[in-house]
Amino acid sequence: MVVSDNRLTNHTDQALVTLHNQAGFYNAQQYGLLVVTGKDAAGFLQSQLTNDINELKPGTSQFSCLLDRKAHVQAYFHLYKDAHPDNQSFYILTESHQIPSLVQNLEQYRFAAQVQFTDYSADGHFIAIQGPRANSIFALLAPEVYLNEMGHHDISDTIYSDYGIKIFRHSITGENGYFFWISKKNYAGFSKAFKSLCADLGFIELEDETVKKARIEAGLVQFGIDFNKDNLLPETGLIDKTVNYKKGCFVGQEILARVRSHGVPARAIIGVTLEGKNSEIIELPINSPILVAGEEIGHIKSNTFSPTVDKFIALTILKRDYRVPEKTFSAQIAGHEVQGTVTLPPFVKLQSNKDLAHKLYEQAVQKFVQGSEGILPTGAINLLQEVLILDPQLEDAYEALAVILSKHGRLDGAIAIMKVLAELNTDSVMAHSNLSQFYVQQGLKELAEEEKAIALGIRMRLAAAQMTDKLAEETEKKNAERLKRKEMFEQVLAIDKEDFFANAGFGECLVAEKDFAKAIPYLEKAIELKPIHLASYLDLAKAYKETKHKDQAKEILSAGITVATKRGEMPMLQKLQDEAKNIAL
């Protein structure tokens, strides 16, 4: 989704546009870090949490919840497994206010298990980056970290300007997002350097209000605001994200399974767009009752005006009967008369990485074209690298990158890029053609010829396949047309058996369908009605030949040749004579 700026009203709205189109950084100081260590950590967490810890590979993450015995949510968080295979540590990233009670609840069930919980919230801070182009921070911060670790991991460590940082993939806006954990003593220094890098990339600082708007637009629920310890997990809409029903026992599992077997919960979180009937809605107090004709149908949760969709949007907890997408209702909320429309979150469809990659590819090509001769276009190269990280299947980006490198004499890099592409797509003519050109530039004529031959071979194979497809398509089209004509002739014959066109046409269709015996009487009739119709002579001869009436075939061809000769119809005469020769053989 690309957001235009024609309806922006204030600074927050402008920041939201930048967030949706670029990225922004955010002092995520309300978030904390809990580390779970000990030789029994995995087994213990598996017995307590809703998601399947055993599915976590080193460096990956999952969302999870801790429930009470009655399946009420006690905590909701993002759980990471340390990237090092020998390290059995787990990291929990969540709002700081959840951590003390989470630890208390976990400790309550820990008896002999060797597990330690360490709350690092007081020792450091998080600074976050959110937005579709969040990845590009790594090009300046630590390219090798992203490409070696974060490209396929959710957690990593790195050092930037002597500051040790831990990176977590985590979105609080629905966009691409990362959280950087830094110790308190290094925070000021790192934060300054980090903000400077962000400024170089055109990323802005995000305020709480902007992040809140983006979160609600994305339909992301927050513990303590949209739900709390009184809510059953199925009421939160987090089941798919946090529960593995097959993992075995965990606290609250029995009740959860029971609620599941009963179908949908009586109340649950869903989106609603609201329109004020008499007054503009600014912001509604959280937990305001939603009254429809005096009946309380639910409560308002996170809510805001979304400049992106130009509507007032709210996450609400609604009764079952009202949770029907597009259902509308007139209600009274906190003194406002409103019209509500039930909407499945997210409220805003965000730009996919693929779409963004295409957009950036165009920009990179533009940058390259506009660049000065002889100077390596690092801007275009960086953009193309970002493109390939966002969409590693975009072949044009491989080519553009290789061509740029080759034009600046960096042929080994160009060749390596094309070799990777040739491996990914064995039918890539582009990869082998470029390789051929690059080898020529390196003076490797033999290899260049080899690559050229491979490219040619692929091209021919693809052309042949295309031709086969085309032929099949044409045959199918012809068959369909013939069927249509045959039906038409059949209808005419039902009315008039003496119609010449219908007899000739129907006979021709039957011959094409190889129904030779059936075709004979119609073609004989056609010739009887119009003795100069040479195509019918030819079709009838074929029908006689295929039904083993060779003499009759010869006879009719001879008659046809006589007619064709008399009329001087040379092309048809040639065809009749050729057919006569075939039969004689």
Partner 1 sequence: MITIESYKSENLASNGMSSQSCQARLAQIDPTIGPLLLYLCRIFEVNLRYAIPLST
Q: Is the CB of residue 341 less than 8 Å from the CB of residue 166?
A: no
Shortest Å distance, C-beta 417 to partner 1 = 7
Q: Does 431 bind partner 1 (CB under 8 A)?
A: no
Shortest Å distance, C-beta 419 to partner 1 = 5
In the complex with partner 1, which residue's Cβ is closer, 374 or 443? Answer: 443
- Total chain residues near partner 1 (CB under 8 A): 33
Q: Does 442 bind partner 1 (CB under 8 A)?
A: yes
Query: Dihedral angle at the C-alpha atoms of 386, 389, 390, 391, nearest 10 degrees?
Result: 120
| DSSP character at residue 83 | S
Shortest Å distance, C-beta 53 to partner 1 = 25
In the complex with partner 1, which residue's Cβ is closer, 272 or 431? Answer: 431
Shortest Å distance, C-beta 203 to partner 1 = 22
Shortest Å distance, C-beta 381 to partner 1 = 6
Containing 37, the helix (H) or strand (E) segment is strand 31-37
CA distances from 57 to 52, 83, 89, 151, 242 (A): 11, 8, 12, 15, 16
Q: Does 415 bind partner 1 (CB under 8 A)?
A: yes
By DSSP bridging, strand 24-27 and strand 204-205 are parallel
Q: Does 443 bind partner 1 (CB under 8 A)?
A: yes
3-state secondary structure of 413: helix
Containing 183, the helix (H) or strand (E) segment is strand 177-183
> Which residue is associated with the tokens 């042949």?
464
Q: Does 423 bind partner 1 (CB under 8 A)?
A: yes
| Beta strands across the sheet bearing 31-37 | 61-67, 73-81, 90-95, 31-37, 116-119
In the complex with partner 1, which residue's Cβ is closer, 344 or 416? Answer: 416
Mark residues 384-413: x for contact with partner 1 by CB under 8 A, - for none: -x--xx--x--------x---x----xxxx
Distance CA 443, CA 445 (A): 6
Q: Does 85 bind partner 1 (CB under 8 A)?
A: no
Binding partner 1 (rule: CB under 8 A), the pick from 201, 444, 529, 580 is 444
Pick out residues in 134-173 that bind partner 1 (CB under 8 A): 143-144, 146-148, 151-152
Helix ranges restricted to H, 22-141: 41-48, 99-108, 137-141
Shortest Å distance, C-beta 427 to partner 1 = 15
Q: Does 452 bind partner 1 (CB under 8 A)?
A: no
Shortest Å distance, C-beta 389 to partner 1 = 7
Containing 296, the helix (H) or strand (E) segment is strand 295-306
Shortest Å distance, C-beta 415 to partner 1 = 4
Cα–chain-centroid distance for residue 200? 30
Binding site for partner 1 (CB under 8 A): 143-144, 146-148, 151-152, 376, 378, 381, 385, 388-389, 392, 401, 405, 410-413, 415-417, 419-420, 423-424, 442-447
